[in-house]
């Protein structure tokens, strides 16, 4: 590792350590909060400006680019349907492309690299040398990944909805968003996006901690989420996508072979996802306490 890299990584310990000045050894919730925020600030730059962030920008920007190209080079008007059909079409775009694929893989890329990336770069030990509890490190890194994914995929959700609606039916879309149900639908999609980042982020943080090669478990999780529509009702509820689909404002048809099940109400779906996230972060915190650094083979 180069001397420049060593100096840069040693600043991790210095920045986190600076939060601990003039405090008693016994950790308090206030101290842990400040340390978690310090870790988050250190990680935000990596999530937004590092070389690894380039792929995240590509994933988040894909729907915006595709819809912009469709607006610049539109197909014949009679193939685009009517304004009344746009909500159903956008629900398919959001559910099939943005939610089920792009947010999934975007969160996989960001959150699996929070610790695996440090191991590959041989820099995780700098965090472990800092006077900060490891569970605080987990929370700080998780919050940094959450901020990055929520910001970018919120832009994806809102931007794709505006581009899709306004490029063909500008006047009808203006009435839909400012005088109709458009704003409430947009906020509902935005809420689902945020919950998806929260739930998938926790899952992939755990995957990145437990597996040396997280690609295989990520692929298995993706397959499980994709075949969710074929599963019996009990198994459907052992997935993140079921609760997210229950919250979308316009239900999406899953085809003639789907096993029908009643959507889980919002008052159950939202707390369930948050509780699931809390349990996963607890497991990650328990695991990292016993984690030993080994750069061999990475």
Q: What is the pLDDT of residues 132-153, one digit of tens each?
A: 888 899 999 999 999 999 999 9
Give yes or no for residue 117 having a pLDDT over 90.
no
CB contact set of 278 (below 8 Å; sequence gap of 6+): none
Residue 215's pLDDT is: 86
Residue 24's pLDDT is: 53
Residue 15's pLDDT is: 55
Report the C-alpha dihedral over residues 255, 276, 118, 53, rounded to 10 degrees: 40
Residue 78's pLDDT is: 56
Q: What's the whole-number average pLDDT of the chain?
A: 83
**Each residue of 187-227: pLDDT tens digit?**
999 999 999 999 999 999 999 888 878 889 999 999 988 88
Give yes or no for residue 264 having a pLDDT over 60.
yes
**249 contacts 161 by C-beta, under 8 angstroms:** no
The residue ranking higher by pLDDT, 267 or 76, is 267
The tokens describing 51, both together, are 């070389």
The tokens describing 280, both together, are 């996963």
What percent of the chain stands above pLDDT 70?
Answer: 85
Residue 178: phi and psi, rounded to 5, are -100, -20
Nearest to 239 by CA among 227, 247, 255, 252: 227
Residue 32: phi and psi, rounded to 5, are -65, -40
Q: What single DSSP character describes residue 101?
A: I
N residues, the chain: 298
Summarize the confidence of residues 44-48 as an average pLDDT: 87
What percent of the chain stands above pLDDT 90?
Answer: 36
Summarize the confidence of residues 3-13 as an average pLDDT: 47
Query: Whole-angstrom Cα distance, residue 248 to residue 210?
Result: 32
155 CB neighbour count, 10 Å cutoff: 14
Report the range out of 1-5, 54-58, 181-185, 232-236 with the highest average pLDDT.
Answer: 54-58
Query: Whole-angstrom Cα distance, residue 14 to residue 85?
Result: 56
**145 contacts 201 by C-beta, under 8 angstroms:** yes
Residue 4's pLDDT is: 43
């Amino acid at each position: 590792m180069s001397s420049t890299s060593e100096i840069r990584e040693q600043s991790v310990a210095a920045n986190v350590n600076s939060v601990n000045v003039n405090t008693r050894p016994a950790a308090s919730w206030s101290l842990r909060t400040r340390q978690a925020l310090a870790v988050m600030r250190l990680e935000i730059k990596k999530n937004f400006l590092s070389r690894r962030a380039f792929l995240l920008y590509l994933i988040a920007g894909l729907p915006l680019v595709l819809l912009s190209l469709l607006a610049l080079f539109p197909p014949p008007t009679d193939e685009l349907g009517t304004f009344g059909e746009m909500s159903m079409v956008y629900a398919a775009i959001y559910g099939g492309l943005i939610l089920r694929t792009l947010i999934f893989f975007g969160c996989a890329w960001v959150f699996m690299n929070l610790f695996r990336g440090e191991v590959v770069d041989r820099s995780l030990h700098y965090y472990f040398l800092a006077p900060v509890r490891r569970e605080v490190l987990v929370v700080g890194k998780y919050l940094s990944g959450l901020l990055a994914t929520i910001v970018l995929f919120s832009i994806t959700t809102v931007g794709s909805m505006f581009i899709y609606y306004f490029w063909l039916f500008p006047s009808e879309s203006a009435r839909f968003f400012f005088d109709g149900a458009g704003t409430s639908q947009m906020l509902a999609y935005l809420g689902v996006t945020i919950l998806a980042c929260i739930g998938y982020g926790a899952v992939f943080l755990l995957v990145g901690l437990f597996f040396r090669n997280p690609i295989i478990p990520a692929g298995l999780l993706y397959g499980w989420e994709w075949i969710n529509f074929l599963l019996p009702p009990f198994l459907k509820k052992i997935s993140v996508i079921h609760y997210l689909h229950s919250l979308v404002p316009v239900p999406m048809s899953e085809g003639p072979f789907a096993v029908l099940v009643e959507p889980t109400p919002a008052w159950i779906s939202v707390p369930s996802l948050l509780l699931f996230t809390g349990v996963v972060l607890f497991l990650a915190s328990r695991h990292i306490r016993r984690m030993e650094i080994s750069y061999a083979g990475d």
